[in-house]
Amino acid sequence: METKALILPTPSEIDQIYSDLGTSESKIEIDVKTIKEWMRKQPHLPNPDDDERRIKLYLIMCKNSLERAKEALDRYYTIKTSAPEFYAARDPTSPELTQSRDLSMFIPLPKLTPEGYRISVNIFRTDDTEHLSFSDQVKMSFMSFDLRLSKLDIYTKEIFVFDVNNMTMNHIAGVLPHLKHYFYCAFAAYPMRIHQVHIINMKTYATSLITFAKSLLKKKITERIFIHKSSEDLKEYIDPSVLPLNYGGTYPKTVEEICDGWTEELIKHREWFIDHSSIVVDENKRAKKSSIKTLDNTLDGSFRKLEVD
């Protein structure tokens, strides 16, 4: 599907993505069909025809491993039933989600890095915490992921930028109790290949939040976290042509302008979000007891077992 919000790889760049994974467009299509046939034989899983692009992206993110992609897809559809606060009532025009977007957003930057990585920025747009809902923030973040994976995007790895310029102590107090739950859902539902994580405009009082977050993550990920006092530091790690103007880059838009463009994309897909909310597992039809932990089980260390490249 065409999108004005994202610049997608050229056909030759897509061929390179497949080549790096030891596969090709034709082989990927065969693998997608294989997974769809497997899903049809799993009575608890939804109709795969409604999410074919996601299957392809999961294959790419799982480095073309059929078994890892199958496990990741099962986890995704399972998490959707286990965490309704993040996956139900996904109308981007609702008052709750409109308010959430006004306070914070999680957006993909339009241009890929030269390596084919997609950068996503999480930004607190104001310092208002009175109307802050962490569940709505996470819901909007996952909606962005799902729209990219199911409808719009193709890329290889993730780079995350967290802009904490407007973060206050009240933000931290609101986020800390829910961080483990958020990480579990994020890593269980999405087989992310994380290249780097950048925290910009860092405040001294946010150290406790970062320290706690690191304690929940695998060492492999914490070693890829970089903390910066200014957004200007990003140019040392990311090609400036990808970065928005107010982050020291040369891409001809500011973060706020990109937020506005992504909001239009979310609203344009309103009906899809509403319809897609019902695409979940049916636990009553699961053939055997799942090896996937639900959120009713203890979370301690559970997401440490998930592969993050």
Greater confidence (127 vs 273) lies with 273
Greater confidence (305 vs 224) lies with 224
AA identity, residue 137 = Q
CATH 3.40.525.10 residue window(s) in the chain: 90-270
Tokens of 162: 């967290």
> Is 90-270 a CATH 3.40.525.10 domain?
yes
- The pLDDT value given to residue 302: 39
- Can you tell me the distance from the alpha carbon of 217 to that of 205, in angstroms, rounded to the nearest whole number? 21
What would the mean pLDDT of 198-225 be, rounded to a whole number?
Answer: 91
Interval 186-198: pLDDT, tens: 999 999 999 999 9
CB 54 within 8 A of CB 150: yes
Reported confidence tier of residue 274, pLDDT bands at 50, 70, 90: very high
Interval 197-209: pLDDT, tens: 999 998 888 888 8
Mean pLDDT value across the chain: 89
Interval 2-16: pLDDT, tens: 678 899 999 999 999
Please tell me what DSSP assigns to residue 158: E
Closest CA to 134 of 94, 174, 80, 92: 174
- The pLDDT value given to residue 240: 95
Closest CA to 85 of 137, 149, 148: 137
Judge whether residue 53 has pLDDT over 90. Answer: yes
Q: Is 161 helix (H, G, I), strand (E, B) or coil?
A: strand
Greater confidence (309 vs 202) lies with 202
256 CB neighbour count, 10 Å cutoff? 13
180 CB neighbour count, 10 Å cutoff? 17
- The pLDDT value given to residue 2: 60
